[in-house]
Amino acid sequence: MEKVTFSQEAAIEETDVLVVGGGTAGLASAISSARKGMKTTLVENSGNLGGMATIGLVGPFMTCFSSDGKDQIVKGIFDEVVRKMEKKGGAIHPANIPASSPYSSFHQIGHDHVTPFDPNVFKLVAFELCQEVGVNLKLYSRFLGTTAASSNGITGIQEAFIANKSGIQAIRAKRYIDCTGDGDVAAQSGVPMEKGRDMDKKMQPSSLFFRIGNVDSQKLITFVRKSFPVGKDEDGFLEIIKKGRIEMNYSVPHDRIGFYQTVRWDEWLINHTRMLGVDGTNVGDLTRAHMEGQRQVFEALEFMQRFIPGCENAEIIEVADQVGVRESRRIQGEYVLKVEDVYNCVPFDDCVVAAGFPVDIHDPAGSFGLFEPPRGHHYEIPYRCLLPLKVDNLLVAGRCVSATHEALGAIRVMPFCFGMGEAAGTAAALSLQDGVIPKKVDTKKLQKILVEQGAYIPRISQ
């Protein structure tokens, strides 16, 4: 392919902390950094904050409780956001949502205390929180790349470049936080990256969420309760889908349907579409996935109208504006979280997030995959997973942190992204206040601050 070099001067804007990506991790990073007195800039490609929770329609928030469902262990900014949405009528607090409820798609294992929420209310709350603490928002702005510099044995990002309707700008920060989900900043800055599972580098399939309305919810709930007894039929809609494949040549390559009731009685979020072989860092794959996802949405609606009681008159209310990518790049960090750490609930001295959601891997080949709970109260995400190799003034939060393919299947859900983001933003501020690079931050001090902010840290929180 023929190549050409493009160059353009860019005015430099300075800030203390630059957060790239305005999803749940980026939102929490920016808020926590700004609350610590840092001049904080948040760059987001779309026109809204919240990432997959808003433009991706992914919901509900999966469990923020321990694996036994007894204790809420993700709090801090996550809980603050939920309670603010609740006051506006846009969420139901997870403490009030039992397992096997319509809000949890009737699932028992791993779905205790999910959080139904209205994505439009979340958008508003996110803006309000950023405005309250003075975050400098740059929406409709795409990250382009970075320049690097080395001094006194420390290698770091010098500037990050963004593009928007105003042109190309450079932002010079003292600390950078990559919350892009795909590790875009880390990859552009020379951090070694991983993709997919070890055996073949294949990644989990992608989905396109959609919301339906005009559902006879009581009829649907009664049908599910009668047809799929909790603990006796974990396959749910499998037999109905088999019938659809015969009678209408149903082609969506997924044998389960996630029906998640929203905060509105007759509206449900649907997690069912499935696009295989998608690399979330490849524009061709994303384009193909979105087009195929849109086709599958309308085929799925026809299937539900014909075969699922309560959905006879269902209609599409909204389709996500962005493909849901479960997995793409992961950084190589100071520690790589392993699936054994998750299953065995290994404690870490530098823990910054406690979690209880199962290892949830949607098989890249298209079969059911794996859904396996941890073997204890909770597992832990260490601070070192947020610290990439080779770049000293960069932190990472969200699903691109340092973890294996299997471990990522557990920690990729949004409550933990909130927690990792809050830890990253707090650590960035603390490193500047103490005059050290992020990997030299006093983790005991960081943990104490997180607890003071309302987060739960095992062995420290009371």
* Side chain identity, residue 282: N
Give pLDDT, residue 270.
Answer: 98
CATH class of 12-91+118-200+327-452: alpha beta
Give pLDDT, residue 161.
Answer: 98
Using the predicted structure, report yes or no on whether residue 254 has a pLDDT greater than 80.
yes
Q: pLDDT-derived band of residue 155, with 50, 70 and 90 as boundaries? A: confident
Instruction: Mean pLDDT check: name the lowest of 31-35, 324-328, 367-371.
Output: 367-371
Q: pLDDT-derived band of residue 151, with 50, 70 and 90 as boundaries? A: confident
Using the predicted structure, report yes or no on whether residue 233 has a pLDDT greater than 60.
no
Using the predicted structure, report yes or no on whether residue 148 has a pLDDT greater than 70.
yes
Using the predicted structure, report yes or no on whether residue 334 has a pLDDT greater than 80.
yes
User: What's the pLDDT tens digit per position in 16-36?
Assistant: 999 999 999 999 999 999 999
- Contact (CB, 8 A) for 32 and 421: yes
Query: Strand (E) positions, 307-350?
Result: 315-319, 329-331
Report how far residue 228's alpha carbon sits from residue 226's, in angstroms, rounded to the nearest whole number: 6
Nearest to 382, CA basis, from 400, 403, 409: 403
Give pLDDT, residue 365.
Answer: 81
Give pLDDT, residue 153.
Answer: 76
User: What's the pLDDT tens digit per position in 51-91?
Assistant: 999 999 999 999 999 999 999 999 999 999 999 999 999 99
- Contact (CB, 8 A) for 61 and 72: no
Give pLDDT, residue 234.
Answer: 55
Provide the token pair at 146: 């970075």
Q: pLDDT-derived band of residue 237, with 50, 70 and 90 as boundaries? A: confident
For residue 197, the Cα-to-chain-centroid distance in whole angstroms is: 19
User: What's the pLDDT tens digit per position in 114-126?
Assistant: 999 999 999 999 9
Using the predicted structure, report yes or no on whether residue 231 has a pLDDT greater than 70.
no
Give pLDDT, residue 367.
Answer: 63
Q: For residue 315, what is the enclosing H or E element?
A: strand 315-319
Q: Return the number of other C-beta atoms located less than 10 Å from residue 368's C-beta.
A: 14
Please state the domain extents for the chain.
12-91+118-200+327-452, 210-319
Q: pLDDT-derived band of residue 230, with 50, 70 and 90 as boundaries? A: low
Instruction: Determine the average pLDDT of the residues in 283-308.
Output: 98
Using the predicted structure, report yes or no on whether residue 214 has a pLDDT greater than 90.
yes
Could you tell me the CA-to-CA distances from 300 to 183, 297, 359 in Å, in that order? Answer: 32, 5, 27
Provide the token pair at 167: 């042109």
Using the predicted structure, report yes or no on whether residue 150 has a pLDDT greater than 90.
no
The percentage of residues in the chain with a pLDDT greater than 90, rounded to a whole number, is 89
Q: Tokens 């070890």 appear where? A: 198
Instruction: Determine the average pLDDT of the residues in 358-373.
Output: 85
- DSSP codes of every residue in 73-123: ---HHHHHHHHHHHHTT-B--GGG--TTSGGGTT--TT-TT-B-B-HHHHH
Instruction: Determine the average pLDDT of the residues in 214-226.
Output: 96
User: What's the pLDDT tens digit per position in 381-395?
Assistant: 999 999 999 999 999
**Distant-in-sequence, close-in-space partners of 459: CB < 8 Å, separation ≥ 6:** 347
Q: Return the number of other C-beta atoms located less than 10 Å from residue 243's C-beta.
A: 15
Torsion of CA 61, 288, 277, 186, to 10 degrees: -70
Average pLDDT value for the chain? 96
- Contact (CB, 8 A) for 338 and 404: yes
Give pLDDT, residue 398.
Answer: 98
- Contact (CB, 8 A) for 448 and 352: no
Report how far residue 445's alpha carbon sits from residue 462's, in angstroms, rounded to the nearest whole number: 16
* Side chain identity, residue 1: M
| 41, β-bridge pairs | 18, 136
- Contact (CB, 8 A) for 448 and 410: no
